[in-house]
Amino acid sequence: MALALTLMLSALVFGVLGYKLIAGFSWVEALYMTIITVTTVGFSEVRPLDADAQMFTVVLIVCSVFIFGFAISVITEYLLSRNSLQLLKKKKVKQKINQLENHVVICGFGRNGQQAAERLTAYNRPFVVIEKDKEIIENFEDEILFVEGDVNEDEVLLESGIKRAQYLVTALPDDALNLFVVLSARQMNSNLFIISRASQVTSVKKLQFAGANKVIMPDKIGGDHMAALVVMPDLITFMDRLSTEGGDTTNLEEVEIEDFKEKIDCQSIRDLDLRKRTGCTIIGYIHPNGKYVINPEPELPLEPRGKVIVLGRPEQIQKLHQVFRLE
């Protein structure tokens, strides 16, 4: 591509200088003659040419035919290959999305959407992002699966595999758009767990009524956090240090009881004995009906579909995964 453009520019410079020096044309006349010669448009000469100028014109025509023919073929091939590459990329992305099940669909890749994607990446959870800004897609397409389009269109939601997805995170800045996405997604997948962003307090109940399981107000959370730092600075700082980033920095973990029962016979929290086995401490229990128990008693019976919240240092959390071979 660069060679083709260089040759075309060289032919133009060669023609202008030739007509200037050989035929004695002005710069404008030389440029005009060069253009009509290399493009073979057939306009008349600026003035009659002598024998030297005619021979130069013949040489320029022959050279420009080969140069511009080569350049046109290279540029055409480049444009076609680029379009083919884009089509190939989109086809591969579509194939990968079609293979996903129980994944997460993120609507919008703004500040909140990017934070959600980073956290899911840390936990190795598969996800698809719906975004209409081509510039954003081009910047992150090598790392993230994107579906380009407007979330208002049902076809775009279907292309993201919404019917096979387990979670939907709609992080759009407009509450009305979030409401529309929640309504559409709930109609397509009744089992979908939907988490929606809200900017206005009045939008929370509307989003819940539309089908959102959880509604998050980022601005409210930020304000509450700053106020808590004034009232209980040490406690909040300690809580901030409890990382749930994933990888080698995790301090908190959520584990289903079924994952334990596959390895050991456990009827109560005492039977798990996680403190002795891994050094971790159980700080909470979630009943199958969603009821939370903070700091549960050792005798609390464990139900198959329940979950425990585990606290520990990163190395203790890693040992928990190793002992019980958690994914």
Quick one: the chain helix, strand, coil %, rounded to 5?
55, 15, 35
Question: Which pLDDT belongs to residue 60?
Answer: 78
What pLDDT does 81 receive?
60
**What's the pLDDT score for residue 84?**
59
- When pLDDT is cut at 50, 70 and 90, the band that residue 210 belongs to is very high
11 in Cβ contact with 31 (< 8 Å)? no
- Closest by CA to 103, choosing from 169, 148, 154, is 169
pLDDT for 28 equals 82
Average pLDDT, the chain: 85
Q: Does the pLDDT at position 245 exceed 60?
A: no
Kindly list the strands in the beta sheet with 252-256, ordered across the sheet, starting from the edge strand earlier in the chain.
Answer: 252-256, 307-311, 281-286, 292-294
110-127 residue pLDDT tens: 999 999 999 899 888 999
* Higher pLDDT among residues 247 and 230, named by residue: 230
Tokens of residue 103, six digits: 């994944």
How does pLDDT run across 20-41, given as a tens digit for each residue?
Answer: 888 778 888 788 877 777 777 7
Query: Do 159 and 129 form a contact (C-beta atoms < 8 A)?
Result: no
pLDDT tens-digit readout, 136-170: 998 898 889 999 999 989 999 999 999 999 999 99
CATH fourth-level superfamily of 100-223: NAD(P)-binding Rossmann-like Domain (3.40.50.720)
At residue 314, the pLDDT reads 86
Work out the pLDDT band at 238, boundaries 50, 70, 90: confident
* CATH number for the domain whose boundaries are 242-324: 3.30.70.1450
Residue 45 pLDDT level (bands cut at 50, 70, 90): confident
Domain positions in the chain are: 2-93, 100-223, 242-324
DSSP 169: E
Residue 48: pLDDT band with limits 50, 70, 90: confident
User: pLDDT value at position 254?
Assistant: 87
pTM exceeds 0.75: no
C-alpha 273/C-alpha 262 separation (Å) is 15
CATH 1.10.287.70 fits 2-93, yes or no: yes
pLDDT band at 261 (very low <50, low <70, confident <90, very high): confident
243 pLDDT tier (thresholds 50, 70, 90):
low
Query: Taking 60 as the threshold, does the pLDDT of residue 244 lie above it?
Result: no
- Band (pLDDT 50/70/90 cuts) for residue 247 is low
What is the tens place of the pLDDT at every residue in 60-113?
Answer: 777 877 777 777 777 776 666 655 566 767 788 888 999 999 999 999 999 999
Question: DSSP 3-state assignment of 141?
Answer: coil
- For the cut 70, the answer to whether the pLDDT of residue 248 exceeds it is no
Structure confidence at residue 186 (pLDDT)? 95
Q: Does the structure show a pLDDT above 70 at 263? A: yes
